[in-house]
Amino acid sequence: MPSTEFETAYPPSYVTELLEEKVAQYNKPDFIPFDPISIPHRFSIKQDIEIMGFWASVLAWGQRKTIINKCLELSALMDNAPYDFILNHQENDLKPFLTFKHRTFNATDTLYFLHFFQEYYKQHESLEFAFSSHMRADDVTIEKGLIGFHDLFSNSENFPARTRKHIATPVRKSSCKRLNMFLRWMVRKDTNGVDFGIWNTIRPSQLVCPCDVHVDRVARLLGLIKRPVTNWQTATELTASLRLLDPHDPVKYDFALFGLGIEGFAK
């Protein structure tokens, strides 16, 4: 294992052992029912998993119970067959979506997401290409994929300006928390049954750790982050620290940092 070079008030061995212990505790099926990842786990078709995983991650702010309920509402509006609905819906089928809302995500955003998905899946088999086509094999992180996806998503004459805030990009210095979570779900591969690992052209080592409030706070307490604000550079700084522990799968420690945050870990 590479030596740990991050500075911390704790012995590096303690940090390593703590994170490995918490990955083992949280990276298992018991984690699924109470997390937004439970939404794509309701499906078996690859495109259904992608569509509902993407939507669940984009809507993932607020209480987890509320997020899950709003995603179930959205799924029901698509007859619980999102890929089929995306490809085959007619104009009249969109009327029920006019009342869908979650926080600042409203009907305008919902209708554009449906439009984007329909246009995209008419041409491509998987949403993976929307990210991977902008990357090179030697890219250290997913950064170019995130930038390229944002530009692809917004490249339409029908794109509403208000919807831009829901698709983050490193260009705007965002930590891209929700998209990084979605990419973890799609890319990470293990036998534990939480993440799906259904994409193959993006490597787990290229993923960037999602920096939500729990992960950010615990990572700072453990000395994995030094930057004073949370932005894209912070997310890549955290991931670089985690890469010292596992260069092939650094984002597995998202389970540990998030779990410690939920537990109320503090110095």
Q: Give rounded-to-5 percent helix, strand, coil for the chain.
A: 60, 0, 40
pLDDT at 1: 40
Specify whether the CB–CB gap between 158 and 115 falls below 8 A. yes
Assess if residue 15 is contained within a domain: yes
Assess if residue 240 is contained within a domain: yes
pLDDT band at 19 (very low <50, low <70, confident <90, very high): very high
Assess if residue 256 is contained within a domain: yes
- Other beta carbons within 10 angstroms of residue 31's beta carbon come to 18
For residue range 38-67, what is the model confidence (pLDDT) as tens digits?
Answer: 999 999 999 999 999 999 999 998 899 999
**Does residue 144 surpass a pLDDT of 50?**
yes
For residue range 206-263, what is the model confidence (pLDDT) as tens digits?
Answer: 999 999 999 999 999 999 999 999 999 999 999 999 999 999 999 999 999 999 999 9
Number of domains composing the chain: 1
Assess if residue 187 is contained within a domain: no
Q: Which two tokens stand for residue 45?
A: 């078709």
Domain boundaries, position 21: 1-31+210-267
Assess if residue 163 is contained within a domain: no
For residue range 68-98, what is the model confidence (pLDDT) as tens digits?
Answer: 999 999 999 999 999 999 999 999 999 999 9
Assess if residue 2 is contained within a domain: yes
Assess if residue 85 is contained within a domain: no
Assess if residue 39 is contained within a domain: no
Tell me how far apart the alpha carbons of residues 255 and 261 are, in angstroms, rounded to a whole number.
Answer: 10
pLDDT band at 266 (very low <50, low <70, confident <90, very high): confident
